[in-house]
Amino acid sequence: MECGIIKKAELEKLITYATEQNKVFYAPVEGEKGFEFKAVTNYEKITLDYDNVKLPPKSIFFPQREVLCRFSGDTLKEAASDKAEDYIIFGIRPCDASALVYLDKVFKDEKGRFQDPYYLMRREKALIIALACNTPRATCFCTSVGGSPAGKTGSDILVTDLGEALVFESCSEKGKGFMDKSGLFKKPTERDIKAKEEKARQVEQSMAEIPTPDIAGLTEKIDRDFEDPLWDAITRNCLGCGACTYLCPTCHCFDITDEENGKGEGIRLRTWDSCQYPLFTLHASGHNPRVNKKQRLRQRIMHKFSYSVANTGDIFCVGCGRCITYCPVNLDIRDMLNALNKL
């Protein structure tokens, strides 16, 4: 089945089916600190009327804190996370789904040299059901970086909210197989399909009213103007807090440490890190190649809009706008990029 439709009132059946198939069902839920993805067992807790979660769902695949292995003396033991459950992530926004494709290139390079078994295990067992955006935020700019409020990249199924019903469209063989096997979906009418397409057109058109950055030719310009004084100007108000990197769906820097309990037993721990921190590049010799905020913020922008392009062919930004929304001093990456592109 390429497209199927289901009434919202019947979405409970989808969760029940997932449970019967021993799949954990993650969905957006409103909590004390805003919206977040949690495992649910009924439809009552799910909210579809939300803009986006604060912490990107990349944390489901790439946890902020993860035990890689345990050790006792010279003996290594597998981590508890070596057996991931099958699960469904329902309601992820298209920008966050597309971000997973970029993370795939980091944790599984095309030549097969570097493989992250923990991340890849979770990716293999996940079914991604994205929810197309009906109301983009004032900080969204996905269309500027090749995305769309109804983008399919990284999704197995794309859902469009038509009010009383949801239209499901398969985007991969995994998604199509799930829809066919479930038997829960009815064939949408031609009117339903037209409504879905019109909704996508209207939402994308509304993006034209939101300020967007001009990134045409940006990579070449920032490579050329690496030492331009403008970098000092756009960094002046930055606190170096790292919030932009922690909330970014494509940032993937991490640190690995061993923690020992004094009895010869311990864990090897992986935790998120940030290029915005002074210790991130501190060498054992005491030398630090990035000693100030300008160098660190420049690294972040260069990584996303130059180095990643050179390494993977892709800009590592999906235009989700989190770094704008949650910056404590109101720095706007769109303004930075526009300024750099005028050099």
What's the pLDDT score for residue 80?
A: 55
List the one residue out of 81, 104, 94, 88 whose CA is nearest residue 37.
88
Let me know: does 249 contact 96? Beta carbons within 8 Å: yes
What's the pLDDT score for residue 73?
A: 84
Report residue 52's pLDDT band, with 50, 70 and 90 as the boundaries: very high
Cα–Cα distances in Å, from 285 out to 82, 281, 282, 289, 310?
Answer: 35, 11, 8, 11, 30
Give the SS3 label for residue 43.
Answer: helix
Q: Which residue has the tokens 């109804």?
A: 150
pLDDT at 84 over 90: no
Let me know: does 199 contact 163? Beta carbons within 8 Å: no
- Indicate left, alpha or beta for 22 from its phi (over 0: left) and psi (-120 to 50: alpha): left
Q: How many CB atoms lie within 10 A of CB 114?
A: 9
On average, the pLDDT of the chain sits at: 93
Give buried/exposed letters for 244-267 (b at 16+ CB in 10 A, else e). Answer: bbbbbbbbbbeeeeeeeeeeeebb
**Which residue type occupies 147?**
G
pLDDT tens by residue, 245-292: 999 999 999 999 999 998 888 999 999 999 999 999 999 999 999 999
Over residues 207-216, the mean pLDDT reads: 92
pLDDT at 322 over 80: yes
More confident residue, 32 or 212: 212
Q: How many CB atoms lie within 10 A of CB 295?
A: 15
Q: Tokens representing 87?
A: 């699960």
pLDDT at 82 over 80: no
Q: How many CB atoms lie within 10 A of CB 65?
A: 10
List the one residue out of 307, 291, 294, 293 whose CA is nearest residue 229.
294
Residue 297 exposed, middle or buried by CB count within 10 Å (0-12, 13-18, 19+): buried
Report residue 119's pLDDT band, with 50, 70 and 90 as the boundaries: very high
pLDDT at 81 over 60: no
What's the pLDDT score for residue 308?
A: 96
pLDDT at 110 over 80: no
Question: Dihedrals φ, ψ of 337, to 5°?
Answer: -65, -40
What's the pLDDT score for residue 109?
A: 77
**Hey, what's the torsion of the CAs at 213, 217, 223, 228, to 10 degrees?**
-60
| Full-model pTM | 0.93
Let me know: does 304 contact 298? Beta carbons within 8 Å: no
Largest CA distance in the chain: 68
